[in-house]
């Protein structure tokens, strides 16, 4: 069995965790981008996860908890796969520490990037479309 690569593992699960944490904003932006959702529906989907004042709602908190849970799960699975390979204990410990640092760095970085890009996309494209849809009806 091949020893798992901490760098690839952390990118894969960091991206997955970040997408899970930002599902409330990334999903409607992507669906809007492909024309599968209108502006009003995209905003109402995203608003479902937040309070009226824009602060985090229970849905948004749950998504972030699931994202952290995925990071913990990735660490446990990595450790299990690593323990199946015969490498010295110090190297295992170093790989695990490296994985945790990289996974946290990539996860938070991807999360912040998705948050920034989805906010920009909402402001630039979805909100104006929502205004047009509301004025037509």
- Give the Cα separation of 89 and 125 in Å (integer): 52
With contact defined as beta carbons under 8 Å apart, do 25 and 115 qualify? yes
Domain boundaries, the chain: 6-136
pLDDT in tens, 98-113: 999 999 999 999 999 9
Residue among 31, 27, 24 at smallest CA distance from 51: 24
Name the DSSP class of 111: H
Residue of 48 and 104 predicted with greater confidence: 104
What pTM was estimated for this model as a whole? 0.84
Name the DSSP class of 85: S
Give the mean pLDDT of the chain.
88
- Give the Cα separation of 16 and 121 in Å (integer): 20
Would you state the structure tokens that stand for residue 114, as one six-digit string? 């998705």
Per-residue exposure over 58-82, b if at least 16 CB sit within 10 Å of its own CB, e if not: eebeebbeebeebbeebbeebeeeb
Q: φ, ψ for residue 50 (rounded to 5)?
A: -125, 160
Residue 72 above 90 pLDDT?
A: yes
């Amino acid at each position: 069995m091949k020893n798992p690569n901490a760098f690839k593992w952390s990118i894969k699960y960091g991206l997955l965790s970040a997408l899970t944490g930002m599902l409330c904003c990334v999903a409607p932006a992507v669906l809007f981008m492909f024309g599968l959702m209108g502006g009003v529906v995209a905003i109402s989907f995203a608003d479902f996860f937040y309070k009226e004042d824009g602060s985090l709602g229970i849905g948004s908190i749950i998504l972030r908890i699931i994202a952290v849970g995925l990071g913990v799960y990735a660490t446990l699975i990595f450790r299990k796969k690593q323990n199946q390979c015969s490498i010295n204990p110090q190297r295992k410990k170093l790989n695990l520490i490296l994985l945790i640092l990289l996974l946290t760095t990539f996860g938070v970085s991807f999360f912040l990037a998705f948050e920034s890009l989805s906010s920009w996309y909402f402001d630039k494209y979805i909100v104006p479309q929502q205004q047009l849809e509301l004025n037509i009806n």
